Chain A
Amino acid sequence: MNRIATVMKIHAKDKLMWLILPWCLGLLPAFLVNFLIGGIVQPEEGLYTGGLASIFVWMMVVGIVTLTKSFPFALGLSIRRTDFFLGTLMMIIVVCLGSSVVLLALSFLEGDWAWGVGLHFFKLPYLSDGSLAEQWWTLFATAFHMSFLGFGIVAVYRRFGRMGLFIMFPVIFVGGSVLALLCTYFGWWADIFNWLSGHSAALLASWLFVGAVIYALLSFFMIRKATV
């Protein structure tokens, strides 16, 4: 039996984490709450919310949990690190594909009808600009990015232990602060915002995708040296 498929089976057994929690505990309540607010308040301008973000946050959680729980489980049962990585990669791609298509369908469904209460939840300005393919790509790349962001953080932990995280977070924080200071000092902020707003969501998503690929590669090399 192909070991990569075996790893995907391990993940598929965990429907609760991969499917039920993100949709039923993440997205659905966010939607319902906003739907209720929309129904009660009936805003004239319509209600635009960031509730969609919940599903992406959950994708990050999925990335975190799978490496925290499923990885030691699989390694303990004689599965190679490489196979675990590739199987998880496949699973993340499948889930992101599925999620992005469903989200796109919901966005299409929402359209201008806005669930009858003026709630704009799935179809958002800027994010839902462009062709259908571009909209799909934005959703897919964002979900993919979030998954490997979570995965990558735990990969650092798995490879370098708690010390790894203790060092990584301050470095990121300090690095980010220095960068922000430099931006302020040299007056780069305006340029940055111009650049950002000058590009479509789909193009920015491509950058997210590139980031995800980098996380994934780094994670792979860290996992290869990870112990239980």
Chain B
Amino acid sequence: MVFKMDDSRPIFLQIAEHIEDDIIEGRLQEESQVPSTTQFASFFQINPATAAKGVNLLVDENILYKKRGIGMFVSTGAKARLMEKRKESFYEQYVVAMIREAEKLGISKDQLTDMIRRGEGTK
């Protein structure tokens, strides 16, 4: 198994996040077909109902849409909307946390911006 599910968070959320990542990083193109819930289930060795719950979460958010009898597809504009959503949480999740940690370690704002610039060069 390549991916390991985190057993301390709801698995359907992790499935949804995984699909979101695939869309944002271009592994899943807009208007392309998403693997079926059965494929997700056997790939991650999870309950098919849980996989379906994760996929349906994205259908509710219009990231995916259902073509009757064929399967799930990525909606047009899904990537842009996801990136917008991620940007919001990026601030909460990374920026705020980074500033807190910097404060703890006595890193000044200038030093922090310096670090960010330095980090830009590396990949």
Direct contact of A and B (CB under 8 A): no
